[in-house]
Amino acid sequence: MVKPASVPPVPSVPAAIPDPTLLLTAAVSRLAATIGVRLIVIKGIAADQYGLRPAHISSDVDVLVTHDDYGTLLAELESRGWRRRASDPDTDTFPVHSASMFHPEWAADIDVHFRYPGLEVDGDVFDPIWAQRTTMWCGNQPICIPGLVDAILIGAVHAIRSRFSRRHRAELDFLVGRCSRMDVTLLLERADQLGALATARPLLERLKPFDAEYDWGEASAEWRLRTEIPDASQRRVVLWKQAAPRERLTKLRLALFPPASAFVKETTATTLGPVQLAGRYLRRWRRGARALPKALAVLRASRRRRP
């Protein structure tokens, strides 16, 4: 059991959140409780409650459920008019970890996660986070959020996964400052329990006294691919090369002629007309052609790094 951390004082009132997000957080928590689904609200209001990120207006509500409850909650939301946003069918390049649900009468999405990239514990990560949850009030409704240490690790891997973005680098720097007076042993122990030692290393190394012999372990291939090669075209080239010969034609066809859902996900529309679709294909091919030389260079570099 992780001991309570000694940390700087946190705000007694969470940062201002737009009313649609605040109300939606309360609504989805109440819905889950009504149908018997355990649900934890992550990021967003939880990060604000603990003061783990700069002032930031959330545009969606992120929640975590068990893998078994994932389909149940999505079905219940769909029965109430929520619809799933299109996702990229190339699940090797964009591994599935959640579904983004939208409703025409709500100004925010619900992102329902059944796993969280960067928390790579064997089995379902939900139960260990649930075991150390805490409760806060939101919209006159009790909601479950992760414990402080878990919220820190979730924020860390979220920022690290996209640290090629200036905003996420700033979030990671902010988190380092926020945790600078914590007992780093608590973070290291919990990261080990959640399978996040390797993935959260860019945060933990900045807090931990240097130890060249410390065993950080190794992150999954999925995590390394996502964090080392942020460009999707470059990832596709590497994955194509790694694929078995019989799979390469399928991957090439999916890269060049994906179904319409690959383009719909980039918009707020639910369908695209023939002219719009043709334009999207042309832009995709132009981007791919421009990215190809660098993608090939990444592929050559990955070969050199291979033991």
Q: What is the pLDDT of residues 117-133, one digit of tens each?
A: 999 999 999 999 999 99
Q: How far is CA 48 from CA 56, 110, 152, 194, 209, in A?
A: 9, 18, 11, 22, 28
Q: How confident is the model at residue 70 (pLDDT cuts 50, 70, 90)?
A: very high
Sign of CA dihedral 206, 235, 102, 75: negative
d(CA 300, CA 304): 6
- Tokens standing for 197? 């030692």
On the question of pLDDT at 2 being above 50, the answer is no
Residue for token pair 């990560």: 125
Q: Which CATH number fits domain 19-207: 3.30.420.40, 3.30.460.40, 2.120.10.10, 3.20.20.210?
A: 3.30.460.40
C-beta of residue 201 within 8 angstroms of C-beta of residue 216 = yes
Q: Tell the burial category of 158 from Cβ atoms under 10 Å away from its Cβ (0-12, 13-18, 19+).
A: buried
- Rounded to the nearest integer, the mean pLDDT of the chain is 85
- What pLDDT, in 10s, does the model give residues 211-228? 888 999 999 989 998 888
Q: Residues 262, 87: contact at Cβ < 8 Å? A: no
CB distance 223 to 243 below 8 Å: no
- Edge-first strand order for the sheet with 98-102 is 40-42, 60-64, 109-113, 98-102, 83-84
The C-alpha atoms of residue 135 and residue 160 are separated, in whole angstroms, by 27
Which segment of 36-40, 151-155, 216-220, 228-232 scores lowest on mean pLDDT? 228-232
Q: Phi and psi dihedrals of 134, rounded to 5?
A: -135, 170
In this prediction, residue 1 carries a pLDDT of: 46
pLDDT score of 52 more than 70: yes
Which part of the chain is CATH 3.30.460.40? 19-207
